[in-house]
Amino acid sequence: RYISTFRPSVKCEVAKNKAQWKTMGPAKVAVPSPKNFLQKHSKEPKLPARKKEQDSKKLPALSVPRRTDHPVMGIQSKKNFINTNAVAAITGLPKKPQPVYVDRRQGDKYLLETSGLVPKYIKKKDYGVTPKYVTRRNEEMRRAQKEYEASILEHLKKRAMKQLSDEERRSLLQGLKKNWEEVYHEFQGLSVEIDTIPKKLYKEKLESQMKQLEHDIEVIEKHKVIYIANE
């Protein structure tokens, strides 16, 4: 079997130091002196010694009168403080309570103004001012409208087209609505049961006419300016 080569040296080392540990602790221990006992507040940090103030430094001026000062005597006021206070209490505005909030039912009170719960966006400098993107978009729309009108005028000069007046546009719109009502009246007069081919074709014709009239009415109502070819 395996035997370590350091076995004799280990046995010798153990036998050499065994006698020193027969008592509680090492054999030779320095006994503390009874004069070096732990005193009260000995481990607390000590502040440096306070330096005396220099004589050249002056003390700050006191806001209260000195002991040697005497009040000015003989000054009297003819003001009627009772009447003045009564008039001020009658004519004065009532004091408004300061808005507060509480964190729970029986909790502490805190100021509502500085809590962040009150929106203060109305106090911003740019409140009520038109945003820049809206102004820019309006300018772009106005410029596009001018360009469109200029192109239309140029096109009118080339094609000899004329613009419908408001009265003509209104009369045209009323005529289209009247035609739609007539076609719709005919559509309501159809029989409930469409069992023949002529009835079916007539119903499809009325539906197409109503659809076309609705489209024309929507186009005229959407566009305020209408141009037609000058015959």
In the chain, what are the domain boundaries?
A: 102-160, 162-228
pLDDT in the model for residue 140: 95
pLDDT in the model for residue 25: 59
pLDDT in the model for residue 82: 93
Say if CB 135 and CB 141 are below 8 A apart. no
pTM: 0.33
Helices and strands per DSSP (H, E), number in the chain: 5, 4
Say if CB 163 and CB 200 are below 8 A apart. no
The per-residue pLDDT string of the chain (231 residues; one tens digit each, 9 = 90 and over) reads 888 999 999 888 877 766 655 666 566 667 888 888 888 988 888 888 877 766 556 666 767 888 888 888 878 888 899 999 999 989 988 888 888 888 888 888 888 888 878 877 777 788 888 889 999 999 999 999 999 988 888 877 666 667 778 888 888 889 999 999 999 988 888 888 888 888 889 889 999 999 999 998 898 888 888 777 665
Helix (H, G, I), strand (E, B) or coil at 126: coil
Q: Angle of helix 197-222 relative to helix 166-188, nearest 10 degrees?
A: 160
